[in-house]
Amino acid sequence: MSGPSTYTPKNGFTKWMDSRLPILRLVNDSFVDYPTPRNLNYWWTFGAILSFMLVVQIVTGVVLAMNYVPTAAMAFDSVEFIRRDVNWGRIIQSAHAVGASMFFAAVYIHIFRGIYYGSYKAPREILWILGVVIFLLMMATGFLGYVLPWGQMSFWAATVITSFFSAIPLVGDGLVQLIRGGLSIDNATLTRFYSLHYLLPFMIVGVVGLHIWALHVPGNGNPAGVEVKDKKDVLPFHPYYTMKDLFALVVFLLPFAWFMFFAPDALGHPDNYIVADSQVTPLHIVPEWYFMPFYAILRAITFNIGIPFTDIVLINSKLGGVIAMFGAIIVLFFLPWLDSSKVRSGSFRPVFKGFYLLLVISFIGLGWLGSKPADGIYVILAQGFTAYYFGYFLIILPILGKIETTRPLPNSISESVLGPSATREPAAATMQGAE
């Protein structure tokens, strides 16, 4: 895709095919001969891991759907039926439920990789924005899926999250009714959530396709943050990165398998093994761990925002919380234009590194606070971390790039790998594959 195609069909069939539907050429140029920077580290393997997880979710989901019954009366029992009676159902169900957690773990690493290495900077803005779109679709899919087992947490997560929309002035209440299909979460809600939970993963597949397309036009970024200059800087994707990705995937599968086989419920919540009851809210409702940071931001806004020294409230705390929570994701769309630094990789930005570390700490801190009760010191901490989260994107990044003294960049990728002396002929043998 990037640069002229290097594909030469070798036999009669591939030649015939190439002049009709050049799909083998596309595969070759995208995943075989595709020139890849030679200095990618393991943080660059998560894209492949994520692609794998998407397939896992779709495959396990499609087979779960063969036994799952999306009605308020049957949903809970049908999931238990899958877990107890369906052949292999215990493993398939836990693969899907644990898989969702592993998928999110990988996407958080992937996103924070991008934030550290400046992967969002020109010419990869669209690539980044598509990534944020995928993240939003994943969150929607995860939420919709969590409602399907129709336990207490499913029901109350659905109640709380659909109530977000009631914060919207004027149309809010009508919108909530439209989303729920009634005044409360009920059968109508479950069936539509099932329909959408089935649909969205395929939309994710579509956006992932665009994401990879947008990746292969400028090519991969890399830890040094300097662009590819010549053939010495790249290696063919296969076998160098197919093998590296595969190795990382196997390591990633270890915790996945451990949870799946030995602790399928460790990441979930015991209350979800109580069937949904519209009359009783569990004492302590918490979302899945992967939504915790955003949940903490929602709850951090405990105050109204109004015109100072008057009683006029412009944004009440409920609307404010919802705006802050969505804003925490929306701000990512603007990241390519908020970071004013010309230097792409965080490795060469000494001051940036400190602020980045604080961002990671704030985000993990918010995740922890999301699971705590919303009172006392927890609220104050959540407010501090929320302020830092937004401050990082809206204040620190725009200013820092203008005043920071960065370390000198390497002249090229090969120099960053082999040192300044070694720009001569780095392993001619390895380069033959790239031709």
Picking from 92, 124, 100, 79, the residue whose alpha carbon sits closest to that of residue 204 is 100
Distance CA 348, CA 224 (A): 8
Structure tokens at 371: 């699971």
Between 199 and 217, CB nearer to other proteins: 199
The Cα angle at residue 165 between residues 385 and 137, in degrees rounded to 5: 70
- Tell me, what DSSP letter sits at residue 348? G
CB-CB neighbours of 430 under 10 Å: 12
CB-CB neighbours of 40 under 10 Å: 19
Among 24, 137, 160, 400, binds other proteins (CB under 8 A): 160
127 interacts with, out of ligand HEM, other proteins, none, CB within 5 to 8 A per kind: none
Distance CA 139, CA 9 (A): 42
Picking from 57, 39, 61, the residue whose alpha carbon sits closest to that of residue 49 is 57
Picking from 70, 73, 211, 37, the residue whose alpha carbon sits closest to that of residue 129 is 211
Distance CA 338, CA 397 (A): 6
User: Residue 146 CB, nearest distance to ligand HEM (Å)?
Assistant: 5
User: Residue 293 CB, nearest distance to ligand HEM (Å)?
Assistant: 17
Between 203 and 248, CB nearer to ligand HEM: 203
Write the binding mask 331 to 370 for other proteins: x where contact by CB under 8 A, - elsewhere.
----------------------------------------
Between 198 and 213, CB nearer to ligand HEM: 198
Among 15, 84, 229, 284, binds other proteins (CB under 8 A): 284
User: Residue 342 CB, nearest distance to other proteins (Å)?
Assistant: 43
The residue sitting closest to ligand HEM, measured at its beta carbon, is 61
What are the residues whose beta carbons fall under 8 Å from the beta carbon of 6, sequence distance 6 or more? 28, 29, 33, 435
Between 90 and 192, CB nearer to other proteins: 192
Between 40 and 319, CB nearer to other proteins: 319
Distance CA 47, CA 130 (A): 13
Q: Please tell me the chain's helix, strand, coil percentages from 3-state DSSP, rounded to the nearest 5.
A: 65, 5, 30
Among 281, 371, 406, 423, binds other proteins (CB under 8 A): 281
**Looking up tokens 């939504």, which residue turns up?**
291
Asked whether position 208 contacts ligand HEM by CB under 6 A, the answer is no
Choose the stretch contacting other proteins; rule: CB under 8 A; options: 222-230, 244-252, 323-331, 371-379: 371-379
Structure tokens at 162: 């659909």
Between 64 and 176, CB nearer to ligand HEM: 64
User: Residue 193 CB, nearest distance to other proteins (Å)?
Assistant: 11
Residues of the shown chain interacting with ligand HEM in the complex, contacts defined by CB under 6 A: 57-58, 61-62, 64-65, 68, 79, 93, 96-97, 100, 103, 138, 141-142, 145-146, 148-149, 197-198, 201, 204, 268
Residues of the shown chain interacting with other proteins in the complex, contacts defined by CB under 8 A: 156, 159-160, 162-164, 177-179, 181-186, 188, 192, 278-281, 283-285, 299, 301-302, 316-318, 321, 373-375
